[in-house]
Amino acid sequence: MFGSEFRSVEEADLVAEIQACTRAEAQAAARRLAAAGELAARATEPEDDERQKWLVDLWACAAAEVSAAMGISHHRAKQQLAIGLALRERLPKVAALFSTGAISAALVSTITWRTHLVISAELAARIDAAIAEHARGWGALSQQRLELAIDAIVETHDPDARRRFHEAARNCDVQIGKPDDATGTASVYGRLTAPDAALLHQRILELSTSVCDADPRSAGQRRAAALGAIAAGAEQLACHCNSPHCPRASAPDPRATAIVIHAITTTPTTA
Instruction: Check whether 176 has a pLDDT greater than 70.
Output: yes
pLDDT 10s digits, 197-209: 888 888 888 888 8
Which structural domain, as residue segments, surrounds residue 61? 1-89
Whether 150 and 114 have beta carbons less than 8 Å apart is answered as yes
**Any idea which of 4-8, 119-123, 255-259 has the lowest mean pLDDT?**
255-259
Q: What is the chain's mean pLDDT, rounded?
A: 85
CA-based nearest residue to 106, from 83, 82, 86: 83
Instruction: Check whether 55 has a pLDDT greater than 50.
Output: no
Question: Final residue of a domain: which of 62, 89, 116?
Answer: 89
What number is the average pLDDT over the span 89-100? 97
Residue 271 lies in a domain: no
Residue 77 lies in a domain: yes
Residue 214 lies in a domain: yes
Residue 63 lies in a domain: yes
Question: What pLDDT is stored for residue 34 in this prediction?
Answer: 97
What number is the average pLDDT over the span 45-72? 75
d(CA 271, CA 261): 20
- Provide the number of structural domains found in the chain: 2
Residue 14 lies in a domain: yes
Chain centroid offset of residue 145 CA: 21
What number is the average pLDDT over the span 232-240? 85
Question: Final residue of a domain: which of 30, 62, 89?
Answer: 89
Residue 180 lies in a domain: no
pLDDT 10s digits, 246-269: 887 766 666 666 556 666 766 665
Question: Final residue of a domain: which of 89, 120, 146?
Answer: 89
Residue 9 lies in a domain: yes
Give the number of other CB atoms < 10 A from CB of residue 81. Answer: 22
For residues 211 and 20, the model is more confident at: 20
Residue 94 lies in a domain: no
d(CA 112, CA 232): 36
